[in-house]
Amino acid sequence: MFDFEGKVALVTGASRGIGRAVAITLARGGASVALNYAGNEAAAAEALRLVREGGAPRAGLHRFDVADPAACAAAVEAIVGEWGGLHILVNNAGIALDQLVLRIKDEDWTRQLQVNLTGAFNLTRAAARPMVKQRGGAIVNLTSVVGEMGNPGQAAYAASKAGLIGLTKAVARELASRNVRVNAVAPGYVDTDMTQGLPEGARARLLEAIPLARMGSAQDVADAVAYLASEKASYVTGEVLRVNGGMYM
C-alpha cells in the first residue's frame, strides 16, 4: 500500500478500466480523488462509489472534455480552490479509432491527437501552476506499447501515444527544479472493455507475443501508476515504465 495521506489527485478517464483502477488505488492510499469522465454517467457514478468505499477522504466527479483547454483549466482551478491543492495528475483519458492510414478520416486522426496527446498537454499545463507554486507534485501519463512499437491500423493512436512520451520527457526536464516529477506508464494489452471484444483468434495471437503468456489487468497498471505517483519514486522522473508482460523490451 502506498501512502497518499493529505494528497489530492485528479485522474482522467476514471469512469472505467485503467482509470477507475488507478482512482481506487489512490483512494486506498488515502488520497482525495477527483474523477474526470467524458459522458457515461452510470459508469462514473459506480467509479465514485468504489473510490469512496476505497477510503478516499473526499471524492468528486468532474465531467469535461480533456481536449478543451478552457475546461481543463477550470477543472483544475475548481479542485485547487475546493480542496486546497493538486498533488497528483494522472492523464489516462484516451480513445482509439482504428483504421488503416490510407483510409483514416481526417477528423478521426485529429480527434485521437486532441484527446490522447493535446488533452494530456492541456491538463499538464493547468496542473503545473499549482504544483510549481507548492513546490511538489507528480504527473503520470498513460502511453502505450503501441506508441513504442507501432501497430497496423493504429497510426493515429500510435502517433498520439508516442508524442506523449516526448511530452513526458520534455516537461520532466522543465519542472524538475520545482520538485515536480513527470513519468509515463506504457501498458501492453490489458483486459478491459477495449480489448474484450477481440475475436478469439486475434486474442490467441496476442498471447503468443507476450512472454508472460497472459493479458495484463487494470490493477497491474494501476499499481505501476501508484508507484510513480508516490514518494517511493521520489528520485524517478522522465521515465517510461513498461507494463506489458515482456511484449516489448
pLDDT of residue 73: 98
Q: Please report how the helices 119-133 and 69-83 are oriented relative to each other, as an axis angle in degrees rounded to 10.
A: 30
pLDDT-based confidence at residue 95 (cuts at 50, 70, 90): very high
pLDDT digits (tens, 9 = 90+) for 108-151: 999 999 999 999 999 999 999 999 999 999 999 999 999 999 99
pLDDT bracket for residue 10 (50, 70, 90): very high
Q: In this predicted structure, what is the pLDDT of residue 192?
A: 78
Q: What are phi and psi of 82, to 5 degrees?
A: -85, -40
In this structure, what are the phi and psi dihedrals at residue 15, rounded to the nearest 5 degrees? -80, -20
Cell of 68: 478543451
The pLDDT, as a whole number, for residue 158 is 98
pLDDT at 221: 98
* Burial label, 223 (beta-carbon count in 10 A; 0-12, 13-18, 19+): middle
Distance of CA 105 to the CA centre of its chain: 25
Its pTM surpasses 0.75? yes
Amino acid in position 76: V
Among 25-39, 152-166, 193-207, the range scoring the smallest mean pLDDT is 193-207
* Residue 239 grid coordinates: 521515465
Q: Residue 172 above 80 pLDDT?
A: yes
Confidence of residue 103 (pLDDT cuts 50, 70, 90): very high
Beta bridge partners of 88: 9, 138
Mean pLDDT computed over 194-205:
78
Quote the percentage of the chain above a pLDDT of 90. Answer: 93
Side-by-side strand order, sheet with 32-37: 59-63, 32-37, 8-11, 88-91, 137-142, 180-187, 240-243
Question: In the chain, pLDDT over 70 holds for what percent of residues?
Answer: 99
Q: Using 50, 70 and 90 to split pLDDT, how confident is the model at 1?
A: confident
* Band (225; pLDDT cuts 50, 70, 90): very high
pLDDT for the residue 203:
83
Cell triple for residue 23?
482512482
What is the pairing mode between strands 32-37 and 59-63?
Answer: parallel
3-state SS, residue 91 = strand
- DSSP code, position 244: S
Predicted confidence (pLDDT) at residue 194 exceeds the cutoff of 70: no
Average pLDDT of the segment spanning 92-118: 97
Is 157 known to be catalytic? Answer: yes
Of 176-185, 190-199, 223-232, 236-245, the least confident: 190-199
CB 179 within 8 A of CB 161: no
Strand segments (E) across 38-189: 59-63, 88-91, 137-142, 180-187
Average pLDDT over residues 58-64: 98
d(CA 246, CA 237): 22
Fold classification of 8-234 is Rossmann fold (3.40.50)
> Mean pLDDT over all residues of the chain?
96
Q: Which of 16-30, 163-177, 198-212, 235-249 has the lowest mean pLDDT?
A: 198-212
Domain ranges of the chain: 8-234
Catalytic residue among 157, 189, 235, 248: 157
